[in-house]
Structures are given as structure tokens and as C-alpha cells.
Amino acid sequence: MRTIILAGGLGTRLSEETVLVPKPMVEIGGMPILLHIMHLYGAQGFREFVVALGYKGERVKEYFLRFREFASDLTVDVASGRIEAVSAGPLPDWRVHLVDTGPTTDTGGRIKRLAGWLGEGDTFMMTYGDGLADVDLHALVAFHRSHGRLATVTAVRPPGRFGAIELEGDRVRRFAEKPQAGEGWINGGFMVLDRRVLDYIPGDDSVFEVGPMERLAADGQLMAWKHAGFFQPMDTLREKRLLEGLWTSGRAPWKVWR
């Protein structure tokens, strides 16, 4: 089963970081967030990826073309210019397809353009290149296969943005620093989709989360797998710093690989 990762957006709310690189190449702990997502999938046995490129897609291609160099120690013979890569450890056994899906194509259009890259099966996975979670992907796939509908979205609780104050008169009875919101569910990505979902996408300017997903829901073809664990997008510089702090402190819940 192949995994599509949408990696072509502009990342305008993270403009401090995305002037030179696309949003999925913004680093957390010295490694692009795209790699964190791929490690999450790869550690659970999903090792073939189709990365939908757009804005500054050449930077993603450059990274993977030099992946071995970036992941290795290097010995440079200055006189001859010869470079020897000395592996610092085993490299991931991934197969990565890097596909240009257009600089302005919207999310649905990017998925539609990848029709020829989905492999021979009817089912594929899809997520965004800017969100991390400790998702049990095998449980997600099992849920999708159990209900027989065309699409499954991972529903998550929105992460809290501010500290919650519980008052008793003017006295603060309880304070919770940035709690997860207690009400409602949102789209966390990490989807499992049937190839027939492509029929719901008209073209390049289709926003997958608007028209196609709304029509799938209206047709009874969209199911939600509830994930009550960790979820955090990287939409802003504040959220980037939050993820960085979790990683550097050794408390990154999404790190399921060694």
C-alpha cells in the first residue's frame, strides 16, 4: 500500500521558515518534518511513498538525491575532490516517488494528478506534510477495511492553544497549561482512501477537504477513525517551536522508530 504525502503548499503562516524551503522541509531536531512523517509510516511497515511536490519542490528532490550524504559522515580528499560517505547507521529501506503536481494545484488536484502513481491496489494512504501524531496505522487500516466505505479520515481533538483557567468566583480553582480541547473532532489527516475517491475530484483547483470530502460524507462514504492520542500540526512558528521542544527533550510522542 502506497502512502501519498501532500508536500506542495506555500506554508504562508510559517513564512519565516519557508522563504528558502517548502514547509515539509522545515526541520524539527535537525531533520525535515517530512522525514519525521515518513519514519512514522516506515516504522509500521508502510515504506513506499508518493510525495506530491509543488512550491519549491526542487528542494525536496535535492534532499533525496543527496540523502545518503546527508545521513552519513563524510571523508573528503581535498586534493582530488573525492568524497567518501561513511554511513553513520542503517539507512531506511524506503521507495520514494517525487512527483511534481504543479505550483498552484490545490489538495484535491494534487491527489488526482497522482492517479498513475497509486500502484496496483485499490487502496492507498494519504496525509499532509506538516502534521505529527502517534497514530497506530495498522489499526487505522483495519478500521477502514472493516466498514467497506471509500474513505477514512483520522479524527483528532484539536490541540489547545491557551492555558485553561477553571474559576470559583475570583479564585483560580484549576489551571491547565495548553490542554487538548475537550469538545469536537477535527481532520487530522492520516487517511485511507479507495481509488474511486478520485472520481469525486474534478480537477486542479479542487480543495479535497471542501467539495470532495463533503460529497463523500453526503453519500455515506466517509468514515472517521478516532485517535485520542497525540496530534500536533506545524502551521505556525509557535507550533514549530513546540514540536522542537518535545523532540529535544526526548518526549516526542510520534517517535515510534529507533
Question: In this structure, what are the phi and psi dihedrals at residue 149, rounded to the nearest 5 degrees?
Answer: -85, 175
pLDDT tens over the chain, length 258 residues: 999 999 988 776 676 666 788 999 999 999 999 999 999 999 999 999 999 999 999 999 999 999 988 888 889 999 998 888 787 678 899 999 999 999 999 999 999 999 999 977 889 999 999 999 999 999 999 999 999 999 999 999 887 765 565 656 655 566 665 656 555 789 999 999 999 999 999 999 999 999 999 999 999 999 999 999 999 999 999 999 999 999 999 999 999 887
In a domain, 177, yes or no: no
Q: Which amino acid is at 24?
A: P
Q: Residue 200 domain-assigned?
A: yes
Domain count, the chain: 1
Determine the pLDDT at residue 233. 94
Does 38 map to a domain?
A: yes
3-state secondary structure of 71: coil
In 3D, which of 49, 67, 231 has the Cα closest to residue 136? 231
CATH number, domain containing residue 29? 3.90.550.10
What whole-number distance in Å separates Cα of residue 141 and Cα of residue 228?
16
Q: Is residue 21 part of a domain?
A: yes
CA distances from 132 to 1, 27, 38, 128, 211 (A): 20, 13, 10, 9, 25
Element (H, E) at 226: strand 222-227
* CB 185 within 8 Å of CB 157: yes
Alpha helices in 126-234 (DSSP H): 137-147, 211-218
Q: Which domain holds residue 104?
A: 3-156+184-248
Radius of gyration of the chain (CA): 20
DSSP code, position 15: T
Could you tell me if residue 172 is inside a domain? no
Strand partners for 100: 53
pLDDT of residue 17: 67
pTM above 0.85, yes or no: yes
Q: Using CA atoms, how far apart are residues 175 and 189, in angstroms rounded to an integer? A: 30
| Residue 141 placed within a domain | yes
User: How crowded is residue 240: how many other Cβ atoms within 10 Å of its Cβ?
Assistant: 20
